[in-house]
Amino acid sequence: MPGFRMEEVSELINDINIVTKINCVLYDKDFHVLHNYKDSMCRFCALVRTDPAHREACRASDVQGMKHALQKKGIYRYRCHMGLTETVIPIFYDDISVGFMMVGQLLCPGDEKIICEKLADFPQAELRRRLACELKKMRHTAQEEIAAMSNVVEMCVSYLRMKKLIQFKETPLSVLLKQYIEDNLAEALDIKTLCRQFNLSKSSLYLLAHEMFGMGVTDYVKECRIARARELLSETALPVCAVAERVGYTDTNYFTKVFKKATGKPPSKWRKTE
């Protein structure tokens, strides 16, 4: 499945935080934090999360926001459970969800009253006092600034794809695909069959094959079949027609044509020279 080249992506996230002074966090597809610049959560939010109930509410709010963005397949802006503004941008590689970029913990003009009312939910008087103090220190962020920041992050997501900072890694799925092909060379291994076997779209199978094999799946299947045919020709006395059947070719003449194109010799002559 796809993942991030974390060293380069982390540098990009750091740059966004340094330049904008706005918290930008990278999440994986399962809503877990992958990178957060110097644990750059604002002091107000860090204090909120010292209360166990509100820590869970923060997490639930973030996850809900990411789910909405995933459903929309686009940018989603919302207020967290405390009333601060958050923006989520889903990240896709082809049609596969990879993760999310979130910018937030932003105080918009006029929101202080709502947030102050929510402070009454905290049972500890000292924590309420400290939260009120931190809230007063927070910078107001205009809606225009939030919109501009969202556009910048969307461009960064496009940059990730352009620079191939999202790529397929060898995972159980890719291993299973490779193993399935090698174990079923005598069977039908067309695109439709493989997509159905692994529940993949054609474009996803194409991307997975290129990342795993460096070529399309059809070319890889052909390469594997020719390699197995060479083994059978050199290690057994099977007739050419039987070799062809064992590597998935029902037409011996077509097998001979494909084999000659790949090796420079027809199967019978190739066997004699080995």
103-129 pLDDT, tens digit each = 988 999 889 999 999 999 999 999 999
- Residue 93 — pLDDT band, cuts 50, 70, 90? confident
CB environment 146-157: b (16+ within 10 A), e (fewer): beebbeebeebb
pLDDT at 1 over 70: no
Helices 202-213 and 172-183, packing angle to 10 deg = 90
d(CA 115, CA 199): 46
Q: What is the pLDDT of residue 168?
A: 56
Query: What tens digit of pLDDT does each residue of 161-201 get?
Result: 788 787 655 556 777 888 889 889 999 999 999 998 888 89
Average pLDDT, the chain: 89
pLDDT, position 274: 66
Q: Judge whether residue 39 has pLDDT over 70.
A: no
Say what percent of the chain tops pLDDT 90. Answer: 53
pTM: 0.61
Parallel, antiparallel, or unpaired: how do β-strands 85-93 and 2-4 relate? unpaired
Q: pLDDT band at residue 245, thresholds of 50, 70 and 90?
A: very high
